[in-house]
Structure 1
């Protein structure tokens, strides 16, 4: 089988044999979820036969998340589990910057540690990126067989409404702007982070908008998003306010 660039399967395998994936897991109070998500990542990445590492960036969780991560490192090894904790909660964007600094892969995968994102979709993202040589592959809840489970009607309505409004105002060329399950070429992610001014919940949205400005190639894989099993959601009124503020800022500046 040939890819779009005319590569055979054997040539594609040779071209990608040195690829390595650094999976960033920012955590805050995820002691119950972390062992499960790490086990699932290992399961599906081992099946894909891709080289990878898992970088856990814990922001001073008071529930003992770091201690759990240290135990996981003993189980899976220091080459597989990389611990890069911080003293306190400093924001999602800075967590990615911190993680990338220690990443040895040429690709970065970002995802939530609360089991909202199932690692079974990672091999599909890798396959799509390799086939089309994409700069970014984003997991989307809003096309194909993607969807959301565990949310009540009100939260689904807010999410859909926010996404629709953003599509109308910014026309980003991607169906899911606030999702945080993505694969990036490392150098692309580094450039995007430097160009972004947002923090927290709206950081993901700005990343896609900036990617459109730079004409990066973006692909999408339908995913099912499942509301967290353990712990409390970190989305509240302040995050919604930040979203609205950032939307207006990006509309005025892009």
Structure 2
């Protein structure tokens, strides 16, 4: 039984690039979830200069759903997912920040799974692992999963952590800690960079919980590719060894 806590706020940072077809669906899910422990929501959408109707879809949703507090930001030049996350993290005012992709691969109902270690007072950072078992997991790409696990192992070697899923979208941070990091990576290198830098924060308490994963194919809009894998290796070595 998790004890009730004074009202606190969860900032939900959503980077969006060409997600006009699905962003209203993920926002419906975000709106529907009831957070544990007296947490309220703050949604921050960062449109990374989409070329589709993402902006119109967000504005239409905001007008039709004023009860969901949404802050909307737009990059005038496409900079990458990491850059969008930098903007959202910088603008967030909640006690904790969670990252939510604008597609439908992750289930906002599981925010509470990540919040439980926080509410028990044992965690400052919580990662949602797609590989811990016991949760629905769409079967897709063998080499993609091998790449994820190999990058996680390499990141663990440099950070001295024992994560099972460093590349997960669902990362929950205490706001003051993550805002105190100097983050540089503007694309998918954000994942290893924030993990390695977070591991170096004195006395930080990092937890990992199992989550579901409803992955997309590339035909359905998945964006990460093999080049991002090589960038992740570079970032692990750069931030793990030289910084």
Aligned-pair CA distance for 1:248: 2.1
Residue 62 of structure 1: which of 51, 60, 64 is its match? 51
TM-score of the pair, normalised by structure 1: 0.85
The 1:46/1:134 distance shift into structure 2, 3 A limit, reads closer
Q: Paired residue for 1:134?
A: 123
The 1:217/1:71 distance shift into structure 2, 3 A limit, reads same
Say whether 1:27 aligns with 2:16: yes
SS at match of 1:137: strand
Residue 71 of structure 1: which of 60, 73, 82 is its match? 60
Q: CA RMSD in A?
A: 2.4
Gaps of 5+ in 2: none
Deviations 1:61-113 (A, max 9, x none): 11100100001101211761221122122123332232234323222111211
Aligned-pair CA distance for 1:140: 0.9
TM-score of the pair, normalised by structure 2: 0.88
Q: Paired residue for 2:195?
A: 208
SS at match of 2:213: strand
Larger radius of gyration: 1
Residue 40 of structure 1: which of 24, 29, 53 is its match? 29
The answer (yes or no) to whether the contact 1:53–1:81 under 8 Å persists in 2 is yes
Deviations 1:95-143 (A, max 9, x none): 2232234323222111211111111110121222110342111111222
Q: Paired residue for 1:217?
A: 205
Say whether 1:177 aligns with 2:166: yes
Deviates more, 1:85-94 or 1:145-154: 145-154
The 1:210/1:173 distance shift into structure 2, 3 A limit, reads farther
Aligned-pair CA distance for 1:144: 4.0
SS at match of 1:52: strand
Aligned-pair CA distance for 1:213: 1.1
Aligned-pair CA distance for 1:179: 1.3
Cα distance between partner residues in 2 of 1:47 and 1:32: 30
The correspondence of residues 130-209 of structure 1 with structure 2, limited to 5 A, is: 130-146=119-135, 148-192=137-181, 194=182, 196-209=183-196
Deviations 1:216-250 (A, max 9, x none): 11111201222127742211232122012112223
SS at match of 2:82: helix
Deviations 1:151-173 (A, max 9, x none): 22222222223223333454324
Say whether 1:103 aligns with 2:89: no
The structure whose residues are more often helix, as a share, is 1
Cα distance between partner residues in 1 of 2:155 and 2:94: 32
